[in-house]
Amino acid sequence: MTTPVFLAIDAGTGSARALAFDADGRLVAHAHREWSHAAVEGHPGGTVFDTDEGWHAVSGAVRDVADALAGAYSVASVAASSMREGFVLYDRAGVELWACPNTDGRARREADELVVDGTADDIYRIAGDWVSITAPARIRWIARHEPELLTRAAHLGMLSDWVATRLTGEFTTEPTCGSSSALFDLSERDWSGALADRVGIDSAILPDVVECGERIGSVTPTAAAATGLPVGTPVVAGGADTQLALHGIGAQRGRPTIVGGTFWQTTSVIDRPLVDPERRLRTLCHVEPGQWMIEGIGFLSGLAMRWFRDAFCGDAVAAARDGEASAFAVMEEWAAEIPPGANGVLALLADTMQADAWHHTAPTFTGFDITDQGATGRGAFIRAIEEAAAYIARDHVRILSEITSGAATATGEVTFTGGSSAGRLWPEIIAGTTGLDVRVTPAPEATSYGAARLAARGVGADLAPMSTPQRTITASEYDIAQYNRASAKWRRAYDASRGISSAGVDPLFVPPGAARAAGATRSATTIVGAGR
């Protein structure tokens, strides 16, 4: 006899991962393959998702897990999660024609055109998101630069859908990833024919929408040969990374959640499709019918730590190889020796989300003293990166509270989950910057656990959410005051640093279409109406 497990496949920004959880929610096997997304020659900001290499990474990670499970466990069902916004076009035979990850920014001209002609405003009103890195501008880019692809396109899918299609041959989507396309009508939790018409795409290529946790097919012989999964293994609709992380920990209305990964999402679950009247944050469908989520994105917060690790902390990586501790744990030990405010070192990387005018400065560090390596060495730089991410999260918590009339912060707590929550220092910094008690979940793999919960649902099983905090952190009044001063200094420096970009130094990222349309007006908090 073998023990059943539920398999989550995650196509994330930085890697493909496979994780198997048993009926008690224990992680019993996992594997991953890191990946990157190549630039598009001649189109600044463009990145491509290589579906062949991507499937090689996904299937390799799954096969590693299948090998680890052999003899003791059997996969009862599978569900996929992924980064959002990225999508795939297929021909009539189901062969991939074109694909992009969430970081693709080539469609700057097209996004600006959508702003100028007012389409961006309608998209935000109906779909809850701006045109910076969503499908409308990218589809117009394809129509301009590769029009024959749209002629040949017979199917469109988001990246989690693509994993499911590779496993089953079926074409479907679900509301969480589907709504990240900015082609959804939030109020209907379905595709908007009106928006499809506005951006010039044939709505016939849009797949059927099923609910998260619904069985959509079975592993085909071809997929079985690639992954090591048995033919006929049930495949269940999963969804978008952030929403599945919230599902994994059972996030409820009234407590914001920071999902810390490559990007950081500061989110709140809501029971109405509220859209930010100031067009700062974005709204997407949540896992359960009748629920939505609103979020602010901390741009590449986790990736900044990975970059610093790889560029400057080889000894920490070596320590991890020797089994002493993870590289990030070693780095945080260095940072913990530095007081709040990082001895004046400031990491100027990314700014608070403003969907329609989101201009980051050129990445830089400032405030360090080259005559005092002890006070402003690597530990201070690491702490400065963590503090910068926390300052952005604090801004997003404040905006969430404003939009929800205080409901998002009613408990005086914030939940911290995702890979970044595994550290000891980062939660303490969040507590100090926000002034809220930080509940750290025991599920740093929250997204994948959310997918596993849905995989279980699809075959009639039930995995309980990991909602009990592993620890709760309360900051002292002294630390809160320290961070208030440090964050004010950071804000002044960040605003002043925008001139670096004006001098011709490239920023971390300036999303396409990130400029308000001339004469654009704003209204009171909006509940999305039907836009079909």
Burial 205-220 (b: 16+ CB within 10 A, else e): bbbebbebbebbbbbb
Q: Mean pLDDT highest for which of 69-78, 297-306, 444-453?
A: 69-78
pLDDT in tens, 176-191: 999 999 999 999 999 9
Query: Quick check: 464 pLDDT over 70?
Result: yes
Residue 108 lies in a domain: yes
Average pLDDT over residues 353-371: 90
CATH of the domain at 114: 3.30.420.40
**How far apart, in whole angstroms, are the C-alpha atoms of residue 79 and residue 82?**
10
Joined together, the tokens standing for residue 322 give 């020797």
Query: Quick check: 342 pLDDT over 80?
Result: yes
Beta bridge partners of 268: 294
pLDDT in tens, 107-144: 999 999 999 999 999 999 999 999 988 999 999 999 99
Query: Quick check: 522 pLDDT over 60?
Result: no
Residue 194 lies in a domain: yes
Query: Quick check: 322 pLDDT over 90?
Result: no
Residue 69 lies in a domain: yes
Query: Quick check: 34 pLDDT over 60?
Result: yes
Average pLDDT over residues 227-231: 98
The pLDDT assigned to 526 comes to: 40
Average pLDDT over residues 416-429: 93
Query: Quick check: 346 pLDDT over 90?
Result: yes
pLDDT band of 503, cuts 50, 70, 90: low
Residue type, 248: G
pLDDT in tens, 187-221: 999 999 999 999 999 999 999 999 999 999 999 99
Residue 88 lies in a domain: yes
**How far apart, in whole angstroms, are the C-alpha atoms of residue 231 and residue 225?**
9
Residue 317 lies in a domain: no
**How far apart, in whole angstroms, are the C-alpha atoms of residue 24 and residue 5?**
9
Maximum distance among all Cα pairs of the chain, rounded to whole angstroms: 68
**How far apart, in whole angstroms, are the C-alpha atoms of residue 398 and residue 121?**
24
Average pLDDT over residues 414-435: 94
Specify burial of residue 28 (Cβ count, 10 A radius: 0-12, 13-18, 19+). Answer: middle
The pLDDT assigned to 507 comes to: 67
The pLDDT assigned to 502 comes to: 62
Joined together, the tokens standing for residue 182 give 């900015």
Residue type, 317: V
pLDDT in tens, 1-20: 799 999 999 999 889 999 99
Range of the domain at 67: 3-243
Query: Quick check: 405 pLDDT over 80?
Result: yes
Query: Quick check: 519 pLDDT over 50?
Result: no
Residue 14 lies in a domain: yes
Q: How many domains does the chain have?
A: 1
Q: Is the dihedral of CA 227, 230, 235, 239 positive or negative?
A: negative
pLDDT band of 356, cuts 50, 70, 90: confident
Residues 94/169, Cβ–Cβ less than 8 Å: yes
**44 DSSP 8-state letter:** T
The pLDDT assigned to 426 comes to: 97
Phi, psi of 59 (to 5 degrees): -65, -35
Joined together, the tokens standing for residue 247 give 């599902």
CB atoms within 10 A of CB 462: 8
Residue type, 56: H
Joined together, the tokens standing for residue 364 give 């830089």
Residue 405 lies in a domain: no
CB atoms within 10 A of CB 510: 18
DSSP string, 271-309: SS-EE-TTS-SEEEE-SSTT-EEEEEEETTHHHHHHHHH
Average pLDDT over residues 447-464: 97
How far, rounded to the nearest angstrom, does the alpha carbon of residue 513 sit from its chain's CA centroid? 20
Joined together, the tokens standing for residue 436 give 């809220």
pLDDT band of 508, cuts 50, 70, 90: low
Residue 314 lies in a domain: no
Average pLDDT over residues 35-51: 94
Joined together, the tokens standing for residue 235 give 């495949």
- Helices 119-127 and 108-116 cross at an angle (nearest 10°) of 90
Average pLDDT over residues 140-152: 96
Q: Which is nearest to 195 in space by CA: 297, 120, 117, 84? A: 120
Average pLDDT over residues 396-421: 92
Query: Quick check: 388 pLDDT over 50?
Result: yes
Phi, psi of 194 (to 5 degrees): -65, -45
Q: Where are the strands (E) in 159-291, listed by range?
A: 172-173, 184-185, 190-191, 208-209, 215-218, 234-240, 257-260, 264-270, 274-275, 282-285
Burial 312-350 (b: 16+ CB within 10 A, else e): ebeebbebbeeeeebbbbbbbebbeebebbbbebbbbbb
pLDDT band of 253, cuts 50, 70, 90: confident
> Mean pLDDT of all residues in the chain?
92
Average pLDDT over residues 86-107: 96
**How far apart, in whole angstroms, are the C-alpha atoms of residue 275 and residue 283?**
6
The pLDDT assigned to 510 comes to: 65
Specify burial of residue 411 (Cβ count, 10 A radius: 0-12, 13-18, 19+). Answer: middle
Contacts of 289 (CB under 8 A, 6+ apart): 189, 211
* Cα dist from 488 to 340, 341, 350, 391, 491, whole Å: 13, 11, 15, 9, 5
pTM across the whole model: 0.90
